[in-house]
Amino acid sequence: AQSVTQPDARVTVSEGASLQLRCKYSYSATPYLFWYVQYPRQGLQLLLKYYSGDPVVQGVNGFEAEFSKSNSSFHLRKASVHWSDSAVYFCAVSYNRIFFGDGTQLVVKP
């Protein structure tokens, strides 16, 4: 069965520090891969997407993600976080339908 795993329910980092949010998927082929962000009382917004090609994709607000076929992973990174990055981040995979991970809550300490 297809699944998406975000192993960290909550991550706390200091402002200015680097960030990695982990995502692993379980699927035999390479699906489309996405990261979404959800701010309080809002819907999910697309951060970035991977369809094929260069395994490192750039997104909005300095976020990037790296696809690894060998590890079945699609980790999200940011070099220097800002307090406004505090939100819930969802990894998602899409083949015939989209599957979301359970989300990782990011808390950025001032």
Partner 1 sequence: DMKVTQMPRYLIKRMGENVLLECGQDMSHETMYWYRQDPGLGLQLIYISYDVDSNSEGDIPKGYRVSRKKREHFSLILDSAKTNQTSVYFCASSLSGEVFFGKGTRLTVV
Q: Give the binding site for partner 1 (CB under 8 A).
A: 31-32, 34, 36, 41-46, 49, 51, 90, 92, 94-95, 97-98, 100-103
The amino acid present at 75, given as its one-letter code, is H
Closest to partner 1 by CB, 19 vs 34, is: 34
Q: Taking a C-beta distance cutoff of 8 angstroms, is the pair 64, 74 a contact?
A: no
Query: Cα 6 from chain centroid?
Result: 9
Q: How far is the CB of 37 from partner 1 (least distance, A)?
A: 11
What span, in angstroms and rounded, lies between the C-alpha atoms of 58 and 89?
A: 16
Closest to partner 1 by CB, 44 vs 81, is: 44
